[in-house]
Copies of this chain bind each other. A is one copy, B any other.
Amino acid sequence: MATINGVNGVNGNGHQAHHHHIGEERRKSCWYEEEIEENLRWCFALNSILHTGASQYQDITLLDTKPFGKTLIIDGKLQSAEIDEFIYHESLVHPALLHHPNPKTIFIMGGGEGSTAREILRHETVEKVIMCDIDEEVVDFCKSYLDVNKEAFGDSRLHLVINDARAELVSSKDSFDVIIGDLADPIEGGPCYQLYTKSFYESTVKPRLNVGGIFVTQAGPAGVFSHTQVFSCIYNTLKHVFQYVVPFSAHIPSYADTWGWVMASDAPFTAEVEEIDMRIKQRVKGENSFLDGKTFVSASTLCKAVRQTLAKETQVYTEKTAKFIYGHGAAHRTLNA
């Protein structure tokens, strides 16, 4: 090693003067890099690699990134970043629970990170939450490392089940006010595509909803271009099963894309801006950062390009017609190989 040496006092002062700059230089040399699409990369400067591990199903990494804080990576794909996961989880949870008149029992398909449960448990109407994730090690990992969900994991209303969500719903005798799909995107041959099909929605989800019950699912990228990957098809599939279907979307900075969710029910969604804001005040502990009545108006009013695709979409997910997606929330490259 050629160490720096021979510095006299005067230069020594010089060193200290430049010290902050030195640090900046050094810290930018380690990067996390993700291929969002085949020809598109998204790279975060790293502070550290906090933990790495592997479960029976997935590889799991927790990074400390400069632009987005602690970041959970599953099978090489960004799942959730500390500074903006609230956008995803507030959007997934609150519109569905707020449109329901009195949501008491909730079933989460997936959700092992714990953030979906955390947002649900902020609703004072909620009496029981079943979180059903197949991967115990991911759940344990998140329980240990994600401080922000510690309280939720300890809430007595939360019932954690390690099982395949479909098997659990099939065998369950309970029914629910809200069922939430917090799963990887539907990829042909991927681990979750069966949980996005018309038959699954019809035969497994809908029968487990109480009267007036609401189903909501994350629905993949929903940007001006990316919404054609799975968002429009999930929307169209749900339209074949439920009477009322509301697609909505929001830009999530760490995903470098706009993300989509679809909410569905056989009861109409009647809550207006003021009603939503009032219900937040009455039912939700703490304050939302992202979602309120107006935010939901914006999120559920899609731009012309996306609305046109959704209107024309004819594909329905069946066991035989899963579509491919290249992107977030999925271990598809590997699992699909």
Q: Which A positions have Cβ atoms within 8 angstroms of B? A: 1-8, 11-12, 14-16, 18-19, 21-34, 37-49, 52, 54, 56-59, 61, 63, 65-67, 72-76, 79-80, 83-85, 87-88, 109-113, 115-116, 132-135, 138, 142, 164-167, 182-185, 191-192, 194-195, 218, 223-226, 250-251, 253, 256-258, 288-292, 294-295, 297-299, 301-305, 307, 328-331, 333-335, 337
Contacts and interface: CB of A to CB of B under 8 A. Distances in A.
Contacts of A330: 2, 4
Name the prevailing secondary structure of the A interface residues.
mixed
Given A253-B257, A258-B251, A182 B3 contact: yes
A29 B76 CA distance: 7
Instruction: Give the 3 A-B CB pairs with smallest separation, nearest first.
Output: A1-B113, A39-B45, A39-B66
A76 B26 contact: yes
A77 to B, nearest CB: 9
Given A31-B30, A72-B1, A303-B298, A58 B6 contact: no
A45 B34 contact: no
Given A183-B2, A191-B6, A334 B298 contact: no
Contacts of A57: 4, 7, 12, 15
B225 A83 contact: yes
- Copies of this protein in the assembly total 4
Given A8-B164, A38-B66, A294-B307, 6 more contacts: A3-B112, A4-B75, A12-B57, A25-B333, A39-B67, A253-B257
A138 B65 CA distance: 25
Contacts of A32: 29-30
A182 B1 contact: yes
B40 A40 contact: no
Contacts of A2: 79, 110, 182-185, 218, 328-330
Contacts of A290: 224, 303-305
Contacts of A134: 3-7
A5, A37, A57, A184, most chain B CB atoms within 10 A: A5
Contact of A3 (B19, B111, B301): B111
Given A116-B1, A224-B84, A334-B21, A6 B194 contact: yes
Nearest to A252: B224
A302 B132 CA distance: 34
